[in-house]
Chains A and B, each alone.
Chain A
């Protein structure tokens, strides 16, 4: 009986492992490619540009996320409109640029806030993703962790 319940646990765990799935298989393609395509919009201190070298807190986070996935980040600087367009067409896997919950774009998906400096939407910082790529989104949000409670964290 112990064995069978252990087996059930294993089954459930393995079921949860690739659930939820992506509609366009973004996460699987990242692993296949060995590379995560990152769109950047310059917005210090979150995303900085020194020559052609990207920097900033969000760039550092993405590098860590890529390392966790075991893939290389491939950065490209674009305008916000181009970032949005590319995400919509699944030509990018993730985008950073000091985006917040106040961002009005509906054609792309945003993570839950990973950094919060106040109660308003514009104080809640997020990354952008293609829509419907729930495996990728869950992987990134798990990496970023639950949103910190605003006031206590900020002060």
Chain B
């Protein structure tokens, strides 16, 4: 009889998570539709306003996180194979880095662009514009497009947070932050345009610079989390902060009388956590496979994200070497 040793069990989402995943995908598609409409409208009323042009380029950058999420959410469920024994979960981690970098780039671009505008003392000119037979100052059209356009971003950003936690999906979380950055820059640009109308040529640059700092802060934190995640740092929560799962597993193992001491290391692979639990047995000649299997099941039950944790026996050699 051939024993089926499964080196990389395929993890399936729970029904509740699948509902959240479907919702998240719908939100991502909605975001792409929304950004397409917004970017086209923005292009029409852009004029020579640097602030509007910047807001438009940011719209283009905003396409990256939802696209990353959609690619990742399909790719990561490919079945593990001989050549990809760990499955494709890490695709999420790589795409997370892309999304986080897009967010960071957006903040950095906004800051450099607004500082340059202040430095070169750009005086934005905004004239008249007729749409639908209404001939008014183009600034009013800009404010209208910016503010109406910002409303969906507020709701999209908020709606993504709950599924992001449920799925432990950091791309989705970053995408939500991107939506927040979108509506904040839109409001800043609108304030800037109104300021220009008051004769304050520096208004939109200053408003943009202030907002950019908040986006850079978000973008930097996410990018750092993504990069260090690829270095196999211990798992962090979706919204930052280390999880105490390694300690929980250690405690669980230390409670077994056949364990002298246990040490656990974990790392992230997309939604999931992989790693090793090393333990030194009290008596190396007496290890019960059934008890070890039971311990592994209990570890897996600690958290749904714990899917690739293996048990490793250590200690014997060191003891023999010591007199």
Contacts and interface: CB of A to CB of B under 8 A. Distances in A.
Interface of A: 19-23, 25, 109, 111-112, 129-134, 137-138, 141-142, 145-147
Contact of B197 (A21, A142, A145, A147): A21
B192 interface: no
Interface string B120-161: 001111111110000101010000000000000000000000
A20 B126 contact: yes
A134 B127 contact: yes
Given A111-B127, A141-B128, A23 B201 contact: yes
| Size bracket of the B interface | 10 to 19
Contact of B137 (A20, A22, A25, A111): A20
A112 B137 contact: no
Given A112-B129, A131-B124, A134-B127, 13 more contacts: A19-B137, A20-B126, A20-B196, A20-B197, A21-B197, A23-B201, A133-B125, A134-B125, A134-B126, A138-B127, A141-B127, A146-B128, A147-B130
17 contacts: A19-B197, A20-B126, A20-B196, A20-B199, A23-B199, A23-B201, A109-B125, A112-B129, A132-B125, A134-B199, A137-B125, A137-B127, A138-B127, A141-B127, A142-B128, A145-B135, A147-B130
B48 interface: yes
B1 interface: no
B197 A132 contact: no
A40 B16 CA distance: 72
B2 interface: no
Contacts of B130: 146-147
A29 to B, nearest CB: 13
A131 B48 CA distance: 10
Contacts of A141: 127-128
A132 B128 contact: no
A147 to B, nearest CB: 8
A37 to B, nearest CB: 18
Contacts of A132: 123-125, 196, 201
A154 B130 CA distance: 19
Interface majority SS (helix, strand, loop, mixed), chain B: loop
Contacts, number: 63
B136 to A, nearest CB: 9
A5 B255 CA distance: 77
A111 B139 CA distance: 14
Contacts of A112: 127-129
Nearest to A20: B197
Contacts of A130: 123
B198 interface: yes
Contacts of A23: 123, 199-201
Contacts of B198: 19-21
A21 B48 contact: no
Contacts of A146: 128, 130, 135
Contacts of B137: 19-20, 134, 138
B49 to A, nearest CB: 11
Contacts of A147: 130
A112 B196 CA distance: 18
A133 B201 CA distance: 10
Contacts of A109: 48, 125, 127
- Most chain A beta-carbon contacts within 10 A, residue among B122, B125, B126, B196: B125
A112 B129 CA distance: 8
Contacts of A145: 135
A102 to B, nearest CB: 15
A107 to B, nearest CB: 10
A112 B125 CA distance: 11
B126 A131 contact: no
A137 B201 CA distance: 15
Contacts of A20: 126, 137, 139, 196-199
With most chain B CB atoms within 10 A of its CB, the pick from A19, A20, A112, A147 is A20
Nearest to A141: B128
Contacts of A138: 127-128, 137
A131 B124 CA distance: 6
Nearest to B134: A146
A19 B146 CA distance: 19
A131 B123 contact: yes
A134 B197 contact: yes
Contacts of A19: 137, 197-198
